[in-house]
């Protein structure tokens, strides 16, 4: 069983998928549905008598009772476009980026020498008998046989082309008077439905067998970016879950809805920085680097930051913004951020790196979750139940994964912070509490921070012995980086009610059963 699970793990994504696979096998066995599965046949104590498929390279030095070589006539010629190494008369290795005919011919000769060595290895593995398949095979749509280019063909004709009519005489000549070598032709067995010339009509085909087992339920790895809204109906393709935080940011920034600039003052400073997914990822990476270095350290000693920015902007041709970015980021880190329920905190106040974590990856199981049920829950408990784009009907079943930009603890409470590079206007006045809230509704970030809050809730519940949601959960801070100015602009702070988090917890654990209840 352990070997079977190891084999399944090679095609499954993560340990939770493997656990689910094992649970399904157990359930099928209990229900009597898995008795005919090939993988469930009890293995022999010894596999010595079983058929083994191995490469010629792997077989070197081994011995088998019986050996079958069905592809002994295959050969892969050296092509001029291939990268290959050839050796001169003194044995020196050469590699040509533009090989001439002589180099190609030399490399092809070395290829044939290696194939002959491997043919010898294969023919000397059996203890009792060896079957070798021989035919005038061709490559692709070629009409001429390529048998003579293989090692076995070289043994038969010395490299001269072999016509089908000449194959049997060459085999008999190779056998000579050796009684231990038998040359036999395969019987001409017609394919099903094929009529031999002058023959009768083929027998009627048998009806297809019915599939009696239960169909496999769709199991997939989803993320926030996989949730689709009413405006996405024309693009039904669901994106794959991001593998890295950078992919996550790029997917989210790429789906960001553009805001049309209204007449007003010309954008200055961070507001004039380029927009789009690449620019958003750039700002996000700066904050991730600041977290690794220490927010307080970067704010107090910006020299290393200036050097980093100078090197990174050159990749995108943004040198004109280097000085602005080197001044903007430390100021952002020192800016007091309003917290839900009162009080403020600046990222530079998080002196102890052990009290915060950047790019926290999370995974948790989802069990047949109706996206409409999730949408109803989040809509009813966030942002005063204001109307927003509804989710399209779908079913989440498998795993949900994501990356939280920043998780930090302040005064005994834990907070989720997420960085947004959305452009709402030419100055900080465009990032009022109302404008940011409208953006959250428009982009459906409420669903994102509801999922993030549930992930944090489950983590704290598992790790804190005296965990209490009301006492330990601080809420979420969505930072619209271009608009954060210390006057309350550019920040959306919210603390979700416990009823919503517990309802989502049940929904993801029980799926449609929880929704029905």
Which residues are part of the catalytic machinery? 418
Q: Is 436 left (phi over 0), alpha (psi -120 to 50) or beta?
A: alpha
Backbone angles phi, psi at 445, to 5 degrees: -70, -15
Between the two ends of the chain, the Cα-to-Cα distance in Å is 38
Q: Is 142 left (phi over 0), alpha (psi -120 to 50) or beta?
A: beta
- Count of helix runs (H) and strand runs (E) in the chain: 17, 12
Taking CA atoms, 29 is separated from 34, 184, 200, 311, 332, in Å, by: 5, 46, 47, 60, 59
Residue of 377, 378, 375, 379 lying closest to 391 (CA atoms)? 375
What is the distance of C-alpha 354 from the center of its chain?
A: 30
CB 467 within 8 A of CB 461: yes
36, 42, 43, 44 alpha-carbon torsion, rounded to 10° = -120
- Token pair in block for residue 406: 């920043």
User: Is residue 9 within a helix (H) or strand (E), and if so which, with residue range?
Assistant: helix 2-9
User: Is residue 452 within a helix (H) or strand (E), and if so which, with residue range?
Assistant: helix 445-463
Say how far apart CA 515 and CA 510 lie, in whole Å.
Answer: 8
3-state SS, residue 398: strand
3-state SS, residue 450: helix
CB 381 within 8 A of CB 496: yes
Say how far apart CA 216 and CA 291 lie, in whole Å.
Answer: 43
Residue 329: which residues within 8 A CB-CB, separation 6 or more?
Answer: 286, 287, 290, 298, 302, 305, 309
């Amino acid at each position: 069983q352990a070997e079977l699970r190891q084999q399944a793990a090679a095609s499954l994504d993560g340990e939770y998928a493997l656990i689910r696979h094992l649970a399904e096998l157990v359930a099928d066995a209990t229900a009597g549905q898995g008795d005919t599965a090939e993988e469930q046949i009890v293995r022999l104590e010894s596999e010595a008598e079983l058929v083994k498929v191995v490469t010629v390279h792997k077989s070197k030095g081994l011995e088998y009772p019986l050996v079958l070589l069905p592809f002994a006539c295959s050969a892969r010629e050296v092509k001029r476009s291939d990268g290959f190494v050839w050796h001169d008369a003194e044995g020196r290795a050469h590699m040509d980026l533009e090989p001439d005919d002589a180099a190609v011919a030399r490399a092809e000769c070395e290829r044939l020498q290696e194939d002959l060595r491997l043919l010898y290895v294969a023919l000397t593995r059996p203890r009792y008998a060896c079957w070798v398949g021989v035919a005038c095979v061709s490559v692709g749509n070629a009409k001429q046989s390529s048998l003579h280019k293989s090692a076995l063909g070289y043994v038969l004709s010395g490299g001269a082309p072999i016509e089908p009519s000449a194959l049997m005489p060459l085999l008999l000549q190779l056998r000579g008077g050796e009684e231990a070598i038998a040359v036999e032709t395969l019987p001409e067995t017609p394919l099903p439905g094929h009529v031999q010339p002058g023959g009768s009509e083929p027998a009627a085909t048998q009806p297809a067998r019915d599939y009696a087992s239960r169909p496999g339920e769709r199991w997939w790895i989803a993320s926030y970016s996989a949730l689709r809204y009413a405006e996405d109906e024309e693009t039904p393709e669901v994106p794959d879950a991001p593998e890295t935080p950078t992919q996550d940011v790029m997917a989210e920034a790429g789906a960001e809805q553009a805001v049309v600039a209204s007449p007003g003052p010309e954008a200055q400073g961070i507001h004039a920085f380029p927009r789009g997914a690449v620019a958003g990822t750039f700002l996000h990476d700066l904050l991730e680097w600041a977290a690794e270095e220490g927010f307080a350290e970067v704010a107090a000693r910006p020299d290393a930051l200036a050097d980093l920015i100078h090197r990174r902007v050159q990749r995108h041709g943004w040198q004109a913004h280097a000085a602005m970015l080197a001044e903007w980021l430390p100021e952002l880190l020192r800016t007091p951020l309003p917290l839900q329920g009162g009080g403020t905190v600046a990222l530079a106040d998080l002196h102890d790196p052990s009290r915060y974590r950047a790019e926290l990856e999370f995974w948790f199981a989802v069990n047949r979750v109706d996206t409409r049920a999730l949408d109803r829950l989040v809509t009813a408990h966030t942002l005063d139940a204001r109307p927003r784009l509804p989710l399209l009907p779908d079913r989440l079943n498998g795993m949900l994964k994501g990356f939280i930009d920043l998780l930090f603890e302040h005064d005994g409470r834990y907070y989720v912070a997420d960085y947004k590079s959305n452009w709402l206007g030419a100055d900080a006045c465009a990032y009022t509490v109302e404008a940011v809230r409208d953006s959250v509704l428009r982009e459906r970030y409420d669903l994102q921070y509801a999922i993030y809050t549930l992930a944090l809730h489950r983590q704290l519940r598992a790790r804190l012995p005296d965990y209490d949601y009301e006492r330990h959960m601080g809420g979420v801070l969505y930072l619209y980086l271009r608009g954060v100015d210390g006057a309350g602009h550019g920040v959306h702070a919210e603390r979700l009610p416990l009823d919503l988090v517990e309802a989502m917890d049940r929904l993801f654990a029980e799926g449609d059963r929880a929704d029905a209840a």
